[in-house]
Chains A and B, each alone.
Chain A
Amino acid sequence: MSEPLLRVAGVSKHFGGFTALSDVNIDLAEGERFGLIGPNGSGKTTLINCISGALRNDGGSIRFRGEEISTLPAYQRTRRGIARSFQIPRPFHSMTVLENLLVPSAYVIHLKDEEGEVKAMEILRGMGLAERARSPANQLSQVELRKLELARAMAARPKLLISDEAMAGLAGAEVDEVLQILFKLNEQGITIIMIEHIMQAVMRFSQRVICLDAGKIICEGAPAQIVANPDVQKAYLGA
């Protein structure tokens, strides 16, 4: 097999004197379902901010499909196939649900609005949001907002989707709904990084899991291994 889809090598990030990430190494194969866990403040969001381009990493390299992307601005990384949803949903609140999807549709895929709307409606149907297409985004419920985040990320036709705590704060059936959506997307060939605190979701979904603590990788392996690992348990329960 050739170079992995995503290669994070020796990545570090500092904020003033505080080290958020140090020497993070991840190889992601195409089509993989990857889980990223770790206690609050361990650097998960910082890591995906560095991958998606919201932040620039200080050291190390990030290669996507063979290309070094760590100096590219975020919008160019999206155009190369990396999409992300935000932990706290960030809809374009002055637009309708449909118009929200037209933004990546126009700016990433360069579709004209007529065609963009058709494609967007397909995505919304797949997410169960089709009836809300004309609703203003600021009138959606929590779970609908989470779905909108994923739908919008999908409208960019990514190769890699980073789902940042898409299920946080959702109840049982809603978690399953979102999980099914992610499974379906993966079946369509999209590589997915899932960040979650809901352990049963991570375990069901991921083929491989990495645990971060204080900016370092402390464990990597299959879900069952991770859960059993004493370092991971210590990180979550505290020293």
Chain B
Amino acid sequence: MTGPIRSARGFWAGAAAAVLVAALLCFFVSYEYFFFAAYIVLLFVTLATAWNILGGYAGYVNFGTPAFFGVGSYTAVVLIQAAGAPLALQIVAGAVMAGLLGLFAGALTLRLRGIFFAIATVALIFILETVFINWRYVGGATGLQLLRPEPLPPFKSYTTMLFFVMALLAVGSVAVARYIEGSWIGRGLRALRDNEEAAEANGVPTLKLKLFACTVMGAIMGAAGAPMPMYLSFVEPASTFNLNYTIGALGGAIIGGTSHWSGPIIGAMLVGTLQQIITVTISGEVNVLVLGVLLVLFVIVAPDGIIGWFRRKR
């Protein structure tokens, strides 16, 4: 990828344009369902981008997206229940808690081979789900209904406001991923992905870098999870700690391409849009099936994803 996407000014111009477009959409579109659906697409962009920091750059595939996402959601719920906290605080707190979870989970298992880390992330999901099922303060197994407060001016609807917030999170997460990718940290991550033992022998502090990537990934996913309870006006463990988020994040990144920050954006937009179309016209299950098939196909045939395919065309 050369030209405008590579340069910093080009990127920030594009980012500003994206935010501007989001803002304009907020004021000129009154079809509520659009924001409802677009929120999910932007959510997947954020999740896939975050996933890619550890899964793509460092090569540590993991399935734990729902764990970090869910911790973000439930942190928000606790703050809402305890103190009626504003959305901004929920997001920051969600990021912090999920980031700490990433650090903890990483410290526990990133010394081991990749597959053990991946399985450990699945374990996290189920353990957390069980914990929240048994915690009645946040609704337990049946969940909790939540009342939306008034949207902050100038927004006229809460959904629209959430859409804009998620747009900011998406742009922010891409900026973070891009920074990491191009920095010396990114080079170290790539080295350890290519050959961990050789990276270590060449001065790369592999464990520290992995922990860093895992913490950042967790934090971004937690931030993305925090607005979800308000988005649905409802929260419950089963749908929050659902492996479907995994396949969306992982699938989006792998289908789009894991070597560059643009990959997860493309992949997640494709996956998110497909999800909306298929779920509404056929069923939620068929959507997941299509996603699974796409994932398997890409992993076999086009492991560098969509951007890899474009690169080879040039």
A93/B203 in contact, CB under 8 A: no
**Is B32 part of the contact surface with A, judged by Cβ < 8 Å?**
no
What residues of chain A lie closer than 8 Å to B191, measured between beta carbons?
92, 95, 103
Please tell me which one of the listed residues B187, B203, B204, B205 contacts residue A99 in the complex, with CB atoms under 8 A apart.
B187
Contact B200 A75 (CB under 8 A): yes
Which residues on the A side are within 8 Å of B205 (C-beta)? 73, 75-76, 107
A79 CA / B202 CA spacing, docked (Å): 8
Q: Which residue of A lies closest to B183 (CB)?
A: A106
Q: Which of B195, B198, B259 has the most CB of A within 10 A?
A: B198
19 A-B pairs in the complex with CB atoms less than 8 angstroms apart: A53-B200, A54-B197, A73-B207, A74-B200, A74-B201, A75-B200, A75-B205, A78-B201, A79-B203, A86-B197, A90-B195, A90-B198, A92-B190, A92-B199, A94-B194, A103-B204, A104-B202, A107-B184, A156-B203
**Closest-CB distance, A46 to chain B (whole angstroms):** 14
Interface extent on A, as a size class?
Answer: 20 to 34
In the assembled complex, the Cα of A60 lies from the Cα of B194 at a distance in Å of: 33
Known: A75-B206, A103-B202. 17 other contacts (CB 8 A): A53-B200, A54-B200, A73-B200, A73-B207, A76-B205, A78-B203, A83-B201, A84-B201, A90-B198, A91-B195, A91-B198, A95-B194, A99-B187, A103-B187, A103-B191, A107-B205, A156-B203
| Complex interface: chain B residues within 8 A of A74 (CB) | 197, 200-201
Residues of A close to B197: CB separation below 8 A: 54, 74, 86, 90
Decide: A108 and B203 in contact? CB cutoff 8 A: yes
A107 near B203 with CB under 8 A, answer yes
Q: Which residues of A are found within 8 Å of B202, using beta-carbon distances?
A: 75, 78, 83, 103-104, 107-108, 152, 155-156
Taking Cβ atoms with an 8 Å cutoff, the residues of B that contact A are 184, 187-188, 190-191, 193-195, 197-207, 259
* Assembled-state Cα–Cα distance A198/B58 (Å): 37
Within 8 A of B (CB), among A173-203: none
B-contact 0/1 string along A86-117, CB 8 Å cutoff: 10001111110001001110111000000000
Task: Return chain A residues, CB-CB under 8 Å to B190.
Answer: 92, 94-95
Which residues of the partner chain A approach B207 to less than 8 Å between Cβ atoms? Answer: 73
Report the separation of the CA atoms of residues A95 and B187 in the bound assembly, to the nearest whole angstrom.
Answer: 9
Give the chain A neighbours of B187 by CB distance below 8 A: 99, 102-103, 106
A151 to chain B, nearest CB (A): 11
Given contacts A73-B200, A102-B187, A92 and B206 within 8 Å (CB-CB): no
A25 to B113, CA, bound (A): 32
A93 to B203 CA separation, bound complex (whole angstroms)? 17
A52 within 8 A of B: yes
A78 to B197 Cα, complex, angstroms: 12
Contact indicator B195/A52 (Cβ below 8 Å): no
User: In the bound complex, how far is the Cα of B304 from the Cα of A51, in angstroms?
Assistant: 37
Given that A73-B207, A78-B203, A156-B203 are known contacts, is A107 also in contact with B188, CB under 8 Å in the complex?
A: yes
Return the 10 tightest CB-CB contacts between A and B, nearest first. A107-B203, A108-B203, A90-B198, A92-B194, A104-B202, A74-B200, A90-B195, A78-B203, A103-B191, A106-B184
Residue of A52, A54, A75 ringed by the most chain B CB atoms within 10 A: A75
How far does the alpha carbon of A40 sit from the alpha carbon of B205 in the complex, in Å? 31
Q: Which of A73, A103, A156 contacts B188 (CB 8 A)?
A: A103
Q: Write out the residue numbers on chain B whose beta carbons fall within 8 Å of the beta carbon of A103.
A: 187-188, 191, 199, 202-204
* Alpha-carbon separation in the docked complex, A174 to B202 (Å): 25
CB of B233 to closest CB in A, whole Å: 45
Residues of A within 8 A of B206 (CB): 75
Please, which residue of chain A has its CB at the minimum distance from the CB of B204? A107
Provide the bound-state CA to CA distance between A106 and B191, in Å. Answer: 12
Chain B residues whose CB sits within 8 angstroms of the CB of A92 once the complex forms = 190-191, 194-195, 198-199
* Chain B residues with CB below 8 A from A94, complex form: 190, 193-194, 259
What is the CB-to-nearest-CB distance from B282 to chain A, in angstroms, rounded to a whole number? 39
Q: How far is the CA of A75 from the CA of B205 in the complex (A)?
A: 6
Residues A93 and B204 in contact, CB atoms below 8 Å apart = no
Give chain B residues whose Cβ lies under 8 Å from the Cβ of A91: 194-195, 198
Alpha-carbon separation in the docked complex, A152 to B201 (Å): 10
Pair B203/A75 contact, Cβ less than 8 Å: yes
Residues of B within 8 A of A106 (CB): 184, 187-188
Chain A residues near B201 (CB-CB < 8 A):
52-54, 74-75, 78, 83-84, 86
- CB neighbours of B195 from chain A (8 A): 90-93
A73 to B188 alpha-carbon distance, docked (Å): 16
B45 to chain A, nearest CB (A): 24
> Chain A 154-185 against B: per-residue CB contact (8 Å), 1 yes, 0 no?
01100000000000000000000000000000
Given known A-B contacts A92-B190, A94-B259, A103-B188, A86 and B198 have beta carbons under 8 A apart: yes
A86 to B259, CA, bound (A): 26
CA distance A152 to B200 in the complex (A): 13
Q: Nearest Cβ distance between residue A81 and chain B, in whole angstroms?
A: 11
Chain B residues, CB < 8 A from A152 = 202
Name the residue on B nearest A89 (C-beta): B198
Contacts of B204 in A (CB 8 A): 75, 103, 107
